[in-house]
Amino acid sequence: MRRRRIFNPFRREAARKIAKELCSYVMTVTQKSPKHFRFTFVTRMQNLSLDVIENLYRANDTFVSGRDREAIKQRLDYQHKAITSLKLLAYIS
């Protein structure tokens, strides 16, 4: 017997909140970095942290109803992009 998944809107909000906190932290820490890193690694780290937030919002704004495979695929694609950006951010930092 399959377990029924209960819709929990707070999980989405928690993910967005954590992503915003991460972005804020990255912006704060990277502003104090040496000038010779500022235009390479720092810019890349800031862009990746913003990409995470953007892709989470795009995924959550993609409406999925029933068996709409195209919408499901699009939402999963945005989620995958967010996770990939997080992995790259972790690698660079």
What value does the mean pLDDT take over residues 73-81? 93
Residue 48 within any structural domain of the chain: yes
The total number of structural domains that make up the chain = 1
Range of the domain at 82: 38-93
Encoded amino acid at 42, one letter: V
Does position 12 have pLDDT exceeding 80, yes or no? no
Residue 19 within any structural domain of the chain: no
- Over pLDDT 70: what percentage of the chain? 87
What value does the mean pLDDT take over residues 29-34? 86
Closest among 39, 51, 44 to 86, alpha carbons compared: 51
Residue 33 within any structural domain of the chain: no
What's the pTM?
0.77
Residue 29 within any structural domain of the chain: no
Contact 48, 89 (CB under 8 A): yes
**H-only helix segments in the chain:** 9-31, 35-37, 43-61, 69-92
Distance (Å, whole) CA 79 – CA 77: 5
- The residue that leads in pLDDT, 59 or 9, is 59
- pLDDT the model gives residue 5: 54
- pLDDT the model gives residue 68: 85
